Amino acid sequence: MTASSVPPKVGIVMGSRSDWDTMQHAAQKLEQLGVPHEVRVVSAHRTPDVLFEYAASAQSRGLRAIIAGAGGAAHLPGMLASKTAVPVLGVPVQSKALNGMDSLLSIVQMPAGIPVATFAIGNAGAANAALFAAAMLAADDATVAAALAEFRQRQTDDVAGNDDPRR
């Protein structure tokens, strides 16, 4: 069975289709690690009712983590977190006007009581959010744990095997 043909355990959501360039890095990592996931555009500003419905049903649909990427006045991760007990991992998308500083501060500065785990701006944040979600699942999923361990070992081997930058 492929990761995409079983019920999703991780939801990847983003405020706009324009965020996909960034958020595809989360999807690629989950795909590589065999973590079943879904991808949706859900906007805090343009489709607030969809956001509420997505968050309200996330736990009963079996989602164990939601990776939420947004740019600018990035309310999506915080609003999702306010409506679900499923952990929300926020990815600040690099905005054009302020290079993602606006996204980062919007997501990271949650008032005490409703946490959002916030990652780096842009592609690295999207990839790391996926690795973090996989690590959460790995606690009780031996297959994901093995895939994650293999990924990390390959990364270590790649660096160790190419340690002269002139080559």
Binding site listing for substrate: 16, 19, 46
Residue 72, by phi and psi: left (phi above 0), alpha (psi -120 to 50) or beta? left
Q: Which of 63, 68, 70, 134 binds ligand RP5 (CB under 6 A)?
A: 70
Q: Does 43 bind ligand RP5 (CB under 6 A)?
A: yes
Phi, psi angles (nearest 5°) of residue 74 = -90, 80
Residue with tokens 């690590």: 135
Instruction: Please report which helix (H) or strand (E) contains residue 11, including its range.
Output: strand 10-14
Min CB(38)–ligand RP5 separation in Å: 18
- Region from 9-17, 78-86, 123-131, 145-153 binding ligand RP5, contact rule CB under 6 A: 9-17
**Tally of residues, the chain:** 167
What is the residue type of 81? A
Smallest Cα–Cα separation from 13: which of 75, 77, 60? Answer: 77
Q: What angle do CA 65, 137, 161 make, to 5 degrees?
A: 115
Strands 10-14 vs 37-41: parallel, antiparallel or unpaired? parallel
- Region from 11-19, 60-68, 121-129, 144-152 binding ligand RP5, contact rule CB under 6 A: 11-19
Q: Which of 19, 39, 51, 137 binds ligand RP5 (CB under 6 A)?
A: 19
The site map against ligand RP5 for 102-141 (x = CB under 6 A) is: ----------------------------------------
Q: Which of 8, 11, 15, 78 binds ligand RP5 (CB under 6 A)?
A: 15
Q: Does 71 bind ligand RP5 (CB under 6 A)?
A: yes
Q: Contact positions toward ligand RP5, by CB under 6 A?
A: 14-16, 18-19, 43, 45, 70-72, 93
